[in-house]
């Protein structure tokens, strides 16, 4: 029988100490970008983008593309200039 050395296994403690923080960082990065891009797609009424961003997992690549080039900028949308009365009493 051949015995294999421990460094041939991808589950050795040394390698897990290296890959666990990288995996955790990738998960956090993806969740933050996915949430931010889904929020913008929903507020911009972009149903197809919302669907693709929800389904496709690309470690943030698709989310970054959407946020930089395709999201609707709601700050530039026309806003009503009618003043709002804050008091409920009428004279």
Say if residue 32's pLDDT is above 90: yes
Q: What is the pLDDT of residue 50?
A: 92
Give the mean pLDDT of 48-65: 87
Residue 39 lies in a domain: yes
Flag whether 58 is in a domain. Answer: yes
Instruction: Report the chain's mean pLDDT, rounded to a whole number.
Output: 78
From the list 86, 18, 73, the residue with the least C-alpha distance to 46 is 73
In a domain, 54, yes or no: yes
CA pair distance 43, 61, nearest whole angstrom: 21
- Indicate whether 90 belongs to any domain: no
Higher-confidence residue: 62 or 59?
A: 62
**40 belongs to a structural domain:** yes
Region 28-41: mean pLDDT is 92
pLDDT value of residue 39? 94
In a domain? residue 43: yes
Number of domains into which the chain is organized: 1
Q: What is the pTM of this model?
A: 0.59
Length of the chain: 91
Domain extent for 57 = 34-71
């Amino acid at each position: 029988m051949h015995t294999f050395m421990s460094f041939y296994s991808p589950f050795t403690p040394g390698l897990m100490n290296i890959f666990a923080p990288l995996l955790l960082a990738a998960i956090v990065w993806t969740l933050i970008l996915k949430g931010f891009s889904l929020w913008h797609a929903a507020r911009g009424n972009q149903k197809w983008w919302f669907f693709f961003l929800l389904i496709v997992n690309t470690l943030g690549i698709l989310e970054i593309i959407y946020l930089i080039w395709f999201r609707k900028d709601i700050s530039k949308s026309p806003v009503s200039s009618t003043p709002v009365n804050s008091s409920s009493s009428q004279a």
